[in-house]
Structure 1
């Protein structure tokens, strides 16, 4: 076996495992909840931390924080992964914690990684033991706890949100590894600030990923004859392409990107809308999902300010199916830019929602007799359809003064066109018709 210059048995753990901080003061990131003097910092360092849920993306320090909490509390650390553990594993952990508490008085911290993968019955199995203090419970999840966890768990464990690490924090993570890890120091790693920054940016806020990328770069660049590593941009080209941005289409990042896209179109920012669309594509997202969202935007945020928006979005969807993804994605990009640039109005959206609510909650007002259908002689004798004024026979094809709502709500208005785009003309027309109605009523009373 080639020694590669090592004069000791190398630690076979991955670099990310070797670099786990052993104290809270060496823990990078999460200053919003772990700054010195914060409530959580004081609770951890005093060894009195409560049960909690750590919610955040991969590689931000959820497992490390749980291990540190156990260390400060002088508690035994038991780790379960919801990916592989079942009810039996939970029961075994409970029995172990109870036995330890009874025999030595030592507390147990039970850490459940990917806790959102447990079903309701598995989550419920923890509840009595959290209640009676058998163990301190810490769950880690990348999914929104509001949707992924039972309310019973959430009521017993405080949720803390962990954020992706900044570029600066990731650079510090890499620099610390280079200066502190014995194996890296023995390999004489040479790397410039520019390459460190490239690694930090490629990690996308994930400290574990940053260290894994660094370790891969070291493995690729190590020269056994020279006994050193020189990490250049040429080396990184072999390491970084496989780490393009991606997202789980069932995870929060997926919905965050879609939300950013929708809000950019609504906010009339074509550049931002195009950027978020491309981020979705770069992450392996479905262009047709974006096309469907554009159709929703056309009616929710544009409406009659530009009715063509609906057709443009439909056409983009149709083009995608006719010509395939390559040209189809471009058609959706064109629709994105059109809708982002279009005048905006939510008047249709607001009118429809209010009318739906009223139709559901109002009394069952009868249809006014003059609006009722009268297909039989009896119905005509009962007055159905009587006095109905055929609009096309009226001046301007408008029966001024006619009411089409039940009498009790005859003055109700739902649609308030904006003063933008085509709706400005619609607004002017409806104002004119309203004046015609008013004039008709005035004539009636004269």
Structure 2
């Protein structure tokens, strides 16, 4: 028998659960319509109800009812049909450039509406999981629980709200909301839409979108950079400025495409002229006293000019393919030691706050070149990680080091992990004894 809330809302299934409560899909038995019901503590939902009663925007869910039952508080809201931006990215990889800009403008208008209220409402947890794509292609922000404390005008909150990768560093140190936090989150979401790369996976830092796809307009890099910069002088001061920059994007893209056409035309002209300088004299015949010089002077000069122009243009548009492979490949390093014992050195440094962790690259050592120890480093998505020597990998979850049995240099091997803290103090794990067949193992 299905559960019925408040004698009128039949629970169909659980949509999701998060920090602020559990959300159910229900059917209103009186009006025969679908709705979303959030169940949570009274403090959260009563404040969120007060906020939703005052706001009216097509990009925010409407409120139908609020009631208490069995000591719990329930908020009945509009059910938004569609998929989250996270599911879209998992299915399609990334968002086409024009569509990503259009959705970013939609987000600017929703956030602008919240920021213009008195007192201002700071969303604080903008991420693909909280962005719904409706069936008509428009966006809605869901889960307003993170905004409620600021919206109610409290001077200080008891807890921080945010998600690593989508929140600026100062958000983990302060509980008072700031509009720049939403601007940062918008820049992080736009970058992920264009590249398909989760910000937590950017262990070299957030790279320009042009390094993932050179066809993307460079003006988008400037917008994302100004959204996510820690320098307040260079950052956007309001969400309206971000919207204006995005609306100017079509004209900037036209300029970018025009420059690309001019570049290709100039290079084609120089290349064709160099070919003519080389071929036409051959057709007429070259006197013996003019070969190789002065016959080759003009073709060589034009060819040098062609190379210089190519280098000049490629400086701004070159696509670095290795950056796109950094989430899928491991770079292994070697160093000499003696005996069968090997040490995997992982440097763990805790950054400020409670939600970020810095891990140095794992290195493998072996005695001889033909006895290299193969080590694979993977994230929680089971992807191999490419890490430069002495690079720092930023993560908010676990990292796994793997020793494939078929690649062990000897049949039996002993492994010990040594962790070095920021103060230089060493922490050693127990010694693990491994056999290549993977059937027997022990620990000491």
Name the structure where strand makes up a greater proportion of residues.
2
Fold shared by both chains (TM-score > 0.5): no
Larger Rg: 1
Name the structure where helix makes up a greater proportion of residues.
1
TM-score, scaled relative to structure 1: 0.27
